[in-house]
Amino acid sequence: MIQVIGGSGFVGSFLLQELKDFKVSNLDKNTSPFFNEITTIGNIRKKEDLTL
């Protein structure tokens, strides 16, 4: 499992697109316009939000 932090932004969206063949999740403080099904809203500073 690969967890991308901040994948809802410009660069992160391109990274998630490149990783589409892998098992990927996105942790971000905002919703993703393209990857809502793999996006979890959370805060990097909270250990419980970092789940793999």
Answer whether residue 41 is part of any domain: yes
Give the pLDDT confidence score for residue 50 in this predicted structure: 80
Answer whether residue 19 is part of any domain: yes
Q: Give me the number of domains the chain comprises.
A: 1
Answer whether residue 23 is part of any domain: yes
Answer whether residue 35 is part of any domain: yes
Go through 18-42 and write b for each residue having 16 or more CB atoms within 10 A of its CB, e for each that does not: eeeeeebbbbbeeebeebeebbeeb
Give the pLDDT confidence score for residue 52 in this predicted structure: 57
**What is the domain extent for residue 12?**
2-45
Answer whether residue 51 is part of any domain: no
Answer whether residue 11 is part of any domain: yes
**1-52 per-position pLDDT tens digit:** 899 999 999 999 999 999 999 999 999 999 998 999 999 999 989 888 886 5
| Ramachandran category for residue 16: left, alpha or beta (phi over 0 → left; psi -120 to 50 → alpha) | alpha
Answer whether residue 40 is part of any domain: yes
Answer whether residue 50 is part of any domain: no
